[in-house]
Amino acid sequence: MTGVTTETPATPPVAKRVPHERTHHGDTVVDEYAWLAEKDDPDTLAYLKAENAYTDTVTAPLAGLRDTLFTETKRRTQETDLSVPSRKGDYWYYTRTVEGQQYGIYCRRAVRDGETRPPATADGAPLDGEEILLDGNALADGHDFFALGTFDVNPDGRWLAYSTDFAGSERFALRVKDLQTGEVLADEVPDTFYGTAWSGDGSTLFYLTVDEAWRPYRVWRHTVGTPASDDVIVYEERDERFWVGVELSRSEKFIFIDAHSKITSEVRVIPASNPTGEPAVIAERRQGVEYSVEHHGHRFLILHNDGAEDFALAYTSADSPGDWVPLIEHSPGTRLEGVDAFAHHLVVSLRREGLTGLRVITIGSTDPYDLEFPEPIYTVGLDANPEYNTGTIRLRYSSLVTPDSVYDYDLTTREMTLLKQKPVLGDFDPAAYEQHREWAVADDGTRVPISLVCRAGTPRDGSAPCVIYGYGSYEASMDPWFSVSRLSLLDRGVIFAVAHIRGGGEMGRRWYENGKMLAKKNTFTDFIAAARHLVQAGWTSTDKLVARGGSAGGLLMGAVANMAPDAFAGIVAQVPFVDALNTILDPSLPLTVTEWEEWGNPLDDPDVYAYMKSYTPYENLAAVDYPAILAVTSLNDTRVLYHEPAKWVARLRAVAPGGHYLLKTEMGAGHGGPSGRYDAWKEEAFINAWTLDRVGVR
C-alpha cells in the first residue's frame, strides 16, 4: 500500500489515514496522519514526492515568472564581492564570493606596516597577498548541501578549527587545519555542535556535542594532534531544560561555559592559560534569573535580570567572583541585550521603543552616550570586533530602504566612517522607496508596531497588494532589514510589512512575556490586528494580502489561518511548527524539554494541555474556506520536523477539501532550506512568484 493515491499529476495527493490514538489528561485524540513521522517508511517518502510532483505541476505556469525574479536578484547582486576585512592579531580576515560559485571563500591577509584601515578592492577581486583558509565551493563539491558549523582561528593564528555538515541535520564533523602548512590534521571529531573555544596557547580546543534530543549538553577538551578518542569531557549538563555553549573571551583570558534554559542561566569559567583547570561557577543558577558574562580587566561584567525585567549591568571580581556591583541600573522600557568589552570602552546593545541602539561607556568617564542615526526606522548592531585593545568598533547598519552598511566608529573622536554599503546593481535608488511605522490596536488595547516599505507614492486606497511578515516567539525581534529579492515585489507595487507582535522582543521583556506560555494567543491576535489595520488604513485589502512566517512564525501562520481565514488571500508557511502540541507532548523529540519554558508543559499540566490544544494549528482545522496555503519544509530539518507541515497539509485536504494547498519539501536540506546562494535565490523566487500570483500581479 502506498502513502498517496493520485489519478492524474494535477490531482492533489491524498494521504492514507491510519487511526492512531493518544490520551492525555482524560482527552483522547485520533491522529490519522501520525504515520508520516516515520521518515524511513517508503509510504512517507512516496507521499512527500507526490506532493512535490503536484506542487511542480500546479506552479508550472509560474516558471517564467520565477526565472524573471531569479534573474532580477542575480542582476542586482554583485556576485564577485569581498566582505570588509576584520583585524585579529597580525591578519585581516574576510570572505569572498565569486560569480557562478555558490559558497564563500574564507581568507586572510597579513597586516602591513602602518596599515590601520581595512584593505579593499574595487571589484571584489582577491587582495594582494591573500591566503585562502577554506574554500566553501571545494568543500561542497559533490554534495547537494553544505554548511559550516564553526570557523575559529586560534589566538596566534596557526590553527583553524572548522566543522562541516553535508545533510542539513546540523551535526558537524570537526577538523583542525594547520595554517602554516595547509595540512588538515587527522584528529577528526564527528557529530559536534556549533561553537568552539581555543586555549590561550592554541594547544587545546573545546567543543560541544549533543544528546539524542539534539540538545548541546557536553563540553569536550581536545589536544591538537591527538586522536578524538583521547578527548575529555569537561562539563556535562544533565538538566534537560538547559543548553550549553562555549566561547573564548575577546580578551583571550578566559573560556566561558554557558548553561542556559529559556529563563535561567549559569556560567562557568576556565582560565585560558590553564585549559585543564576545573571550571569555576561565577554564580549558581537560580530559577528565573538569566545572566551573561563578559571579561574586562580585573572584573567580569554581568548582564542580568535579577530584579530587573529589562536587564541591568553589574560587575564582580574576576579573581574571586562574588557580589554583583551595579554599573547600569535597570530602566523599564530600555531592554539591555548585550555588553561588549574593549580595553578602554564598553559598548552596550539595547533596544527602546521598538528600535535597536548602541551605548558607549568610556572607562573612567561618567558620561555614557547613545549613538544616533538619521532614519526613523533602522537596525544597528555590532559587527565582527575580535580585537580587545582597540579604539575603533565595527558596526552594521541597515533599514528597509538602506542596504547593509558597515561602519567603523572611532571611540575617541566619535567619528563614524562608512567602509562599505552592500552594492545593489542596476538602477536602484533608495529615494524611490519609503518606509513607515504604523500602530495597530490589539483586542486588549495594546498598540502593536508595524514597519512597512513600499515604492514612493504607493496609493492608500486599498488597491496595493501587501505581504505581512511575522514571528513572535523566543523574544526574537524581527528588526527591519534590507532585501535585494524584495525589490522585485516592491517594484511591482507590493507593500512589505513586518508586524512586531508580542512574543518577540521588539518592545522589551514584558512584550515577550505577554506572548508566551498561557498568553501565547496574544501573538496571533496581534498579527490579525496588524493585518486588519493595514486594510482599514487603506494600505491594502484582504483579497490582496498574503501572510508569511517561518518556524515558530509558521505556527503563527497556521494559527491565524484558523482564527481569521477571511483576513488573507494567501499564506506562506516555511518550516512551520504547526503540530506543536503533539511535538511538545513528546520529550524524546529534539528540543521538546527545553521548549517547556517557552510554551508550557502539556505533558504534566492539564491547563497547558487545554490551552495549547485550543490554538495549535493541526488540532484546530475546520471545514471553512481557508486562504491559499504554501507550506515549505525540509526532510532533514532537526528543529521543526518535516512531518509537521506534511500532516497539516494532509489534514487540510481532508477537512477542507475545496482549498488551494501546496506542500514543497526540500529532500536534501535542513531548517534553513537550500544552502547555496543561487539555490536560496531560486527558493525565494519560487515563494515570491506564488505570492504575486495570489494577488494577481505578474
Check pLDDT > 80 for residue 7. Answer: no
3-state secondary structure of 423: coil
Check pLDDT > 80 for residue 490. Answer: yes
The pTM of this model reads 0.95
Average pLDDT for residues 409-429, to the nearest whole number? 96
Would you call 671 a catalytic residue per the annotation?
yes
C-alpha cell at 130: 591573500
Which of the four pLDDT bands, split at 50, 70 and 90, describes residue 668?
confident
Helices 521-536, 606-615: inter-axial angle, 10-degree rounding: 30
Give the up-direction half-sphere exposure of residue 644: CA atoms within 13 A in the CB hemisphere. Answer: 31
Check pLDDT > 90 for residue 105. Answer: yes
Annotated catalytic residue, options 310, 637, 643, 675: 637
Check pLDDT > 50 for residue 46. Answer: yes
Locus of grid cell 515570491: 688
Which of the four pLDDT bands, split at 50, 70 and 90, describes residue 9?
low
| Strands of 279-391, DSSP E | 280-281, 291-296, 299-304, 312-317, 325-328, 334-341, 345-352, 355-362, 369-370, 379-382
Which secondary-structure segment (H or E) carries 409?
strand 405-410
For 609-661, the pLDDT digits (tens) are 999 999 999 999 999 999 999 999 999 988 899 999 999 999 999 999 999 99
pLDDT at 123: 87
What is the distance in angstroms between the CA of the first residue and the CA of the last residue of the chain? 42
Annotated catalytic residue, options 261, 473, 551, 675: 551
Q: Name the average pLDDT for the chain.
A: 95
For 526-561, the pLDDT digits (tens) are 999 999 999 999 999 999 999 999 999 999 999 999
Q: Residue ranges per domain, the chain?
A: 342-423, 431-694
Check pLDDT > 90 for residue 220. Answer: yes
Cβ neighbors of 268 (< 8 A, separation 6 or more) are 235, 256, 257, 258, 259, 279, 280, 281, 282
- Say what the alpha-carbon torsion angle 320, 326, 331, 333 is, to the nearest 10 degrees: -10
Sheet-wide strand order for 545-550: 433-441, 447-455, 495-499, 466-469, 545-550, 570-574, 628-634, 661-666
Pair 656, 44: CB distance under 8 Å: no
Of the candidate ranges 2-16, 50-64, 219-233, the one whose mean pLDDT is the lowest: 2-16
**Architecture field, domain 431-694:** 3-Layer(aba) Sandwich (3.40)
Number of H helices, E strands in the chain: 12, 40
Q: How far apart are CA 125 and CA 200, in angstroms?
A: 34
Alpha-carbon distances, residue 307 vs 259, 289, 304, 311 (angstroms): 20, 9, 9, 8
Pair 559, 526: CB distance under 8 Å: no
Annotated catalytic residue, options 260, 345, 533, 671: 671
Check pLDDT > 60 for residue 8. Answer: no
Share of the chain above pLDDT 90, in %: 94
Q: How far apart are CA 621 and CA 661, in angstroms?
A: 13
For 299-354, the pLDDT digits (tens) are 999 999 999 999 999 999 999 999 999 999 999 999 999 999 999 999 999 999 89
Pair 431, 456: CB distance under 8 Å: yes
Pair 440, 450: CB distance under 8 Å: yes
DSSP letter at 334? E
3-state secondary structure of 366: coil
3-state secondary structure of 434: strand
Pair 118, 86: CB distance under 8 Å: yes
Check pLDDT > 80 for residue 4. Answer: no
DSSP letter at 504? B
